[in-house]
Structure 1
């Protein structure tokens, strides 16, 4: 029993049309017009498969395939359908579409599992204009509560609560998500690797036993806006030049760090952002990732210590607000073993990797036995239109996941 790679490839291309840019990239952030359209498509297709479909409080979409009743609880598979701006067609969507193809394959062969099988598409996994990444999985697992979200707006003033309702969710349904925790026995998320490790080893698939921690601060540098022509250089308190120096010193410190810990400053807002005005305020996001919390906090602290010197020398004010402090996550070794056993049963080489990117699996690991499967990424490309995994690699990984689900179904009590 194998998945249909032709059917899956058709799905990948179909879903890639939603939010497609002229240069072939995809822009489909959660609660955008393209996102609402793809949600409708996904829900319709789940209903056509005969699944029981539900949208929870955080607008996560769930589809349930009934089991034979011999074992209680559900095995959950899926990922997310939102994208970064001008992203690719595989990040997130591949995990959802492989999960859907696995369900179709089981139905094609009239196979009913001992457990119920659920597919999920989580809301807003990617960073977004609400500054709440992995929003859906964090909400579902109780890390984001209604009181955290009721006053959240995007840069245009759109209320998050209104978006939840438009997508079929709502804060009043959050208590129901807490009740649903006890049913989730296992979660397996398939995802592209987004790096070069599998390609360097010429291996199609990996089991993932660990996900790095992610720390993000929203940083505001406050200087003094003034006329660009009449203010002499010695009289300036330029927020942008101060911020630029802060970015460069952060990069320098990260490059000198002895561990595989990384730092990125990838989002900048300049105010008032006019050619003839000295920037009076700059906002940016500092991100640090590492395999241990100690590594992350050490690098962040070293960066901020140097920032104090820049603040003093340039006579600007610096405010920092933490918006994400996601701890490193160790995934379930029983599920990892089931994935690796599935690869052996298909005579497929497999390696074990840590994920250097955050995923919804990071949060699902708090409530269920969780692991991930990686698919080889060509040239390590991701979050860009050039993102690509070959049909052969996808087919191998999809069949390994299908067998892993059968293994988990037998092994879980």
Structure 2
């Protein structure tokens, strides 16, 4: 007889966690290391301990809970996602993947299912872009892509040191060497996430298997002009950093629009200095992001953008400085685990698609150390990173039970 998750428990969990970081605009604002994040971390750890799981917090403050298997097979199956949010985001992005993973473990425990592997749940730190300019931070740290030497001097915009944030959350740079040991027993990672787009909705499908994740490239661009009085400085005498930045941003948009691929370009973070109504902006910082299914797609668009920018400095008498802060390669996920997910969907008579993820996820880094795959739940309105983000309970239940079955299949079939 097929097992089924408890939607009542899952709904209660989602509603409870959504109380932390609720903002005045109706969304969730819970970046890693904010007060609401620390509250949620404490609740999550207490719940895992109450379930009888062994809880570990690693150097990057990722939270792990382990359900021991019967010892017949070596290695651990890992399920989870992240609990942080973007500013004014929704309650499903990340949290659904973590809380559904917890519900899957509770269902397995309720039915006294003996697993051949250990089963672990993880909540990764700082998956979302944040004030430290390090997205998918926790999974990148865990898989060895961010070292203590790289991180020890990192601060946020207020001068708060990342090293201190790790310590406050139960981690610490001195615990990073332990993560290399913890890596070794990870056999497979499955992450469930809302789709955040309209492809499933357009095809009236509740669920998708995900076999690849696009690459993400980000540059921090600094435009240096000359601050001056907004009234006494004539137009021909201005070196306005903001109008120059606006031109650069439009050029970047045009380069992506004119490219033949499905590559996308975004500037979503902009800091204007000194940011006063009566001062011509003297400096602007913004993040240029390009995403594509192949490195060649990304590099082609980035090159087109930089070529378009070449004459702006002399024309506007400003200076452009570029600093790469992320160059994440596209990732192909594990075909065997993807096939197990699709078999689980077929066994449940759940219609499904196979999709590439246009968003970055922790699975892209876990794929470097173990077999990894993802499951998407339909986003009916295609919205995410906003308060309107949602998935129906019906679709969540279908996807959750598909994931439960996929975990059980992985336990049996992965040698």
Deviations for 1:241-291, whole angstroms, at most 9, x for unmatched residues? 100011111111111111000000010001111111111100000000000
Deviations for 1:135-179, whole angstroms, at most 9, x for unmatched residues? 000000000000110001101111111110010000000000011
Q: Which runs of 5+ in 2 are unaligned?
A: none
CA distance in 1, matches of 2:380, 2:151: 38
CA distance in 2, matches of 1:406, 1:229: 69
CA distance in 1, matches of 2:107, 2:336: 24
Tell me how far 1:226 sits from its aligned partner.
Answer: 1.1
Deviations for 1:33-52, whole angstroms, at most 9, x for unmatched residues? 00000000000000010000
1:376–1:389 CA contact under 8 A, matched in 2? yes
Q: Which runs of 5+ in 1 are unaligned?
A: none
Which deviates further from its counterpart, 356-365 or 231-240? 231-240
CA distance in 1, matches of 2:384, 2:124: 19
Matching of residues 88-237 of structure 1 within 5 Å:
88-237=90-239
Matching of residues 364-375 of structure 1 within 5 Å:
364-375=366-377
1:141–1:366 CA contact under 8 A, matched in 2? yes
CA distance in 1, matches of 2:252, 2:4: 48
1:41 aligns with 2:10: no
1:66–1:112 CA contact under 8 A, matched in 2? no
1:256 aligns with 2:279: no
Indicate the SS of the match to 2:39: helix
CA distance in 1, matches of 2:408, 2:277: 61
Tell me how far 1:23 sits from its aligned partner.
Answer: 3.1
Indicate the SS of the match to 1:305: helix
1:82 aligns with 2:79: no
Deviations for 1:287-344, whole angstroms, at most 9, x for unmatched residues? 0000000000110110011111112211110000000000000000000000000011
Q: Name the structure 1 match of 2:325.
A: 323
Q: Name the structure 2 match of 1:72.
A: 74
Task: State the aligned residue count.
Answer: 413
CA RMSD of aligned residues (A): 0.6
CA distance in 2, matches of 1:24, 1:265: 24
Q: What is the TM-score when the length of structure 1 is the normalising length?
A: 0.99
Q: 1:242 aligns with which of 244, 269, 293?
A: 244
Indicate the SS of the match to 1:379: coil
CA distance in 1, matches of 2:231, 2:345: 66
Tell me how far 1:24 sits from its aligned partner.
Answer: 2.2
Tell me how far 1:391 sits from its aligned partner.
Answer: 0.3
Deviations for 1:45-72, whole angstroms, at most 9, x for unmatched residues? 0001000000000000000000000001
Q: 2:12 aligns with which of 10, 13, 20?
A: 10
Q: Name the structure 2 match of 1:350.
A: 352
1:314 aligns with 2:316: yes
CA distance in 2, matches of 1:63, 1:412: 21
